[in-house]
Structure 1
Amino acid sequence: MRDGPLVRRARAGRRDVARRQGLLRWRGRGVAWVPPLFLLVAIAVADYHTIGEFRMISWIVLVPGIAAALCGVWGTALFAVVSLVTYVVADSAWPHEYRAGRGDFVLVALGGILAVLACAIRVRDERRALHMGDVTDTIRRTVLRPLPPGWGGLDHAGVYLTADAHARVGGDFYDIQPGPHGTRVLVGDVQGKGLGAVEAAAALLGTFREAAYHEPDLATVAERLETRMIRHRGHTVALGRSDGDRFSTAVLLAFPDDERQAVDVLLFGHEPPLAVGPGGVRTLPAGAGLPLGCRDLAPGPPESRRWRVAGDETLLLVTDGVTETRDAAGAFYPLADEVSRAVAEDPGIAEPACLVAFVRDGTLRHGGGRLADDTTVFAVRRRPVRHAAGGPGGEAPEGGRLRS
């Protein structure tokens, strides 16, 4: 997503704050005062050893400026005062004909005042950057809520990378919703970028979390998502915005409670999931449904398909940030081939966390470290019965306890 210049500057400021705090600490203690103090002493000593025709004491005006970039307001004010006192003492030690005089005194005093003002502005902007970073983190947690380990009886792992290095959330989304009718999983990609894409993703996720819990039929969940996308577009049009044609691709999975080695797949113009296991990689296609928000082009919900999935197979779901990544020659990232080769060499790659890390690294490597679009890699598989998670939709062996 792309934000305004204030948000981008605030986020860049927050990174600068964190970087500065890391660089200016030694053994857990702040050492921001060391550079300006060293410069102060160096200038005073150099001035003492220079000849009368070449005085360096006026260079002490640099000290408050350095302090303004590294220290707090009170620290900068202290260096401004110390610099002025040092100037007076050092200049008074010379014969009258070699003294720098009142002109440089005014320069040092004015430089100290300006340094304090600049430091106050810098500190204010840093605090604003930290606040904006907190707001961004809150938005990210709202759209992509943290998923507890084993949530809904599934082992899962996910990674989300934004094409904009300054952003932390965009139009990609994913979630797991356990409920009385089994556990449902949704992964999708809203068309476009910016806050409008984030709003649409949040609207779809909110509907999914309610419908996936309450509705027994997966087709009804799909219908609710389609209706929500259309309603959201109508709302944006009523506001006079230009994104009234926005749509979203998505893949909807359902893990039924009555059949542990089965998964229902329903696609909305999205890449089908890959079943990755020690035996290899296979695609789990379903009916060719249109993206959410495009139902008027082909009325009727897309058809779901049930697939049998072994206990050691992981379902891999990605957005087009992975499949459309190109290398220097313009070739797309061969996801299925790369995963097949990796699993053949090391079956442990099929573990959700390992699989997600492998695809993430492969995508970045194939694209030369650059992403043309937001990228989501999400992997899920049922937990073994002895490790099933608690919460709605979780399972436990007879006599065992539900664990979250």
Structure 2
Amino acid sequence: MPPLLLYLGITLVDLRTTERFRIISWIVLVPGIAAALCGVWPTAVFALLSVVTYVAVDSAWPQQYQAGLADFVLVALGGVLATLASAVRVRGERQMLHMRDIAETTRRTVLRPLPPHWAGLEHAGVYLASDVDARVGGDFYDIQPGLHGTRVLVGDVQGKGLGAVETAAALLGTFREAGYHEKDLATVAERLEIRIRRHRGHTTALGRNDGDRFATAVLLGFSEDAPGTVEVINFGHEPPLAVGPHGVRALPGGDGLPLGLGDLVDGGPPPLHRVPLDREETLLLVTDGVTEARDADGEFYPLVRELVRAVEADPGRAEPGRLVRRIRDGVLRHSGGHLGDDTTVFAIRRLPGEDPVRGRLQS
């Protein structure tokens, strides 16, 4: 529509004004505008239409008032260049869309979609990449039902780019297998530590300089034998928050080293904590993109304060979906929409009356 309106406007103005105001040569702008907005063939049609209209309108004037050959060459050459520019733009847009499809496929592979009410857990999650075009980064989360309980993993790989995505994918692959088969949560933790070391050794052998990459993570275990507790192993990550009608409390913090740094100390993985958890309580897990989000004055996002305020105003805010939306909107509002790091908010809660074993055996 914009190039068509411009075409009609230039033509009518040139025909309805005197010889002192000849603007028919401006019609060269029409294919130029079309090149920025339309496809190749519509741009070519506007270019041809501009040339034909220029000849027709210019010939309608007496010879002494005609724009002449020089302006004709300008309009014709402008049409050709506009058509070529449109072809380049369309090709670039197709390549960009293809890359976005690849990024989306990668994101869905790393952060696989989770069925609703999966493995006896009600869950909600949101992932916001700091690089909007990339749409995927080093944050990861997953729920794995298994033979010995449901396991949950939330983490953040140090660094950005494809190297962080590869590390996250490697950890998630190991978690999905170990979380299903292994009886002890501590064994799952050991398998994750071994996997990141093997991955780093492989990338180093390839000549890449990300051999010191590590990941903070929280590993949770829900067992049908202890419905009122949750097992927690924290690899230097933000402590999970239990949010319920009675308030907000923090679970054990990052008392262990991040994944990939376990060889710096003796004694194996971080300690396992068994923490009481009411059925009405929702576990909220976030990455540092939430806690380190800053406003214009450099102040960090007050996560706990916002949670306390939300629960006091409405105890129903503890429901996972509402909780995640509250934190997501709060972080974006606090930071003005400018995220300095990948941001993940993930919330889970036991489903009352669900048989978690049935869900686990389906995976």
What interval of TM-score do these two structures reach, taking the shorter chain for normalisation? over 0.9
Equivalent-residue separation in structure 1 for 2:302 and 2:50 (angstroms): 63
Task: List gaps (5 residues or longer) in structure 2.
Answer: none
Equivalent-residue separation in structure 2 for 1:143 and 1:306 (angstroms): 29
Matches within 5 A, 1:21-60: 34-60=1-27
Any idea what the Cα deviations from partners look like across 1:226-254, whole Å, max 9, x if unmatched?
00010111111111111111110000001
- Tell me: CA distance 1:252–1:54, structure 2 relative to 1, closer, same or farther (3 Å): same
TM-score, with length taken from structure 1: 0.85
- Tell me: CA distance 1:179–1:63, structure 2 relative to 1, closer, same or farther (3 Å): same
Counterpart residue number, 1:263: 230
For 2:173, the aligned partner's letter is G
Instruction: Determine if the alignment matches structure 1 residue 166 to structure 2 residue 133.
Output: yes
Instruction: Determine if the alignment matches structure 1 residue 343 to structure 2 residue 331.
Output: no
Question: In the TM superposition, what is the alpha-carbon distance from 1:187 to its structure 2 partner?
Answer: 0.2
Instruction: Determine if the alignment matches structure 1 residue 73 to structure 2 residue 40.
Output: yes
- Tell me: CA distance 1:305–1:288, structure 2 relative to 1, closer, same or farther (3 Å): same
Q: 1:324 aligns with which of 292, 295, 315?
A: 292
Matches within 5 A, 1:287-302: 288-299=255-266, 300-302=268-270
Equivalent-residue separation in structure 2 for 1:37 and 1:341 (angstroms): 55
Instruction: Determine if the alignment matches structure 1 residue 371 to structure 2 residue 339.
Output: yes
Any idea what the Cα deviations from partners look like across 1:76-97, whole Å, max 9, x if unmatched?
1111111111111111111111
Equivalent-residue separation in structure 2 for 1:172 and 1:69 (angstroms): 37
Counterpart residue number, 2:277: 309
Any idea what the Cα deviations from partners look like across 1:245-288, whole Å, max 9, x if unmatched?
11100000011022222211111111221111101111121682
Q: Is the 8 A contact 1:140 1:169 kept in 2?
A: yes
Q: 1:121 aligns with which of 88, 112, 126?
A: 88
Counterpart residue number, 2:143: 176
- Tell me: CA distance 1:50–1:387, structure 2 relative to 1, closer, same or farther (3 Å): farther
Task: List gaps (5 residues or longer) in structure 1.
Answer: 1-33, 395-403
Equivalent-residue separation in structure 2 for 1:370 and 1:68 (angstroms): 32
Counterpart residue number, 2:330: 362
Q: Is the 8 A contact 2:150 2:221 kept in 1?
A: yes
Counterpart residue number, 2:120: 153
Counterpart residue number, 2:192: 225
For 1:337, the aligned partner's letter is R
Question: In the TM superposition, what is the alpha-carbon distance from 1:388 to its structure 2 partner?
Answer: 6.6
For 2:265, the aligned partner's letter is A
Which deviates more from structure 2 when the two are superposed, residues 266-275 or residues 279-288? 279-288
Any idea what the Cα deviations from partners look like across 1:351-404, whole Å, max 9, x if unmatched?
00111111222223333433222111110011121587963257xxxxxxxxx9
Secondary structure class of the residue paired with 1:391: helix
For 1:290, the aligned partner's letter is L
Equivalent-residue separation in structure 2 for 1:333 and 1:38 (angstroms): 49
Secondary structure class of the residue paired with 2:122: strand
Equivalent-residue separation in structure 2 for 1:76 and 1:229 (angstroms): 53
- Tell me: CA distance 1:59–1:307, structure 2 relative to 1, closer, same or farther (3 Å): same
For 1:354, the aligned partner's letter is R
Q: Is the 8 A contact 2:142 2:172 kept in 1?
A: yes
Question: In the TM superposition, what is the alpha-carbon distance from 1:298 to its structure 2 partner?
Answer: 1.3
Counterpart residue number, 2:57: 90
For 1:79, the aligned partner's letter is F
- Tell me: CA distance 1:338–1:113, structure 2 relative to 1, closer, same or farther (3 Å): same
- Tell me: CA distance 1:87–1:390, structure 2 relative to 1, closer, same or farther (3 Å): farther
Any idea what the Cα deviations from partners look like across 1:184-235, whole Å, max 9, x if unmatched?
0000011111111111111101110111011111111001000001011111
Equivalent-residue separation in structure 2 for 1:375 and 1:116 (angstroms): 42
In the comparison of the two structures, how many residue pairs are matched? 362
Q: Is the 8 A contact 2:218 2:237 kept in 1?
A: yes
For 2:249, the aligned partner's letter is R
Instruction: Determine if the alignment matches structure 1 residue 109 to structure 2 residue 76.
Output: yes
Q: Is the 8 A contact 1:65 1:112 kept in 2?
A: yes
Equivalent-residue separation in structure 2 for 1:109 and 1:253 (angstroms): 69
Equivalent-residue separation in structure 1 for 2:253 and 2:298 (angstroms): 29
Equivalent-residue separation in structure 1 for 2:82 and 2:176 (angstroms): 53
- Tell me: CA distance 1:273–1:100, structure 2 relative to 1, closer, same or farther (3 Å): same
Equivalent-residue separation in structure 2 for 1:386 and 1:235 (angstroms): 42
Q: Is the 8 A contact 1:286 1:304 kept in 2?
A: no
Q: Is the 8 A contact 2:130 2:342 kept in 1?
A: yes
Q: Is the 8 A contact 2:149 2:357 kept in 1?
A: no
Equivalent-residue separation in structure 2 for 1:87 and 1:77 (angstroms): 15
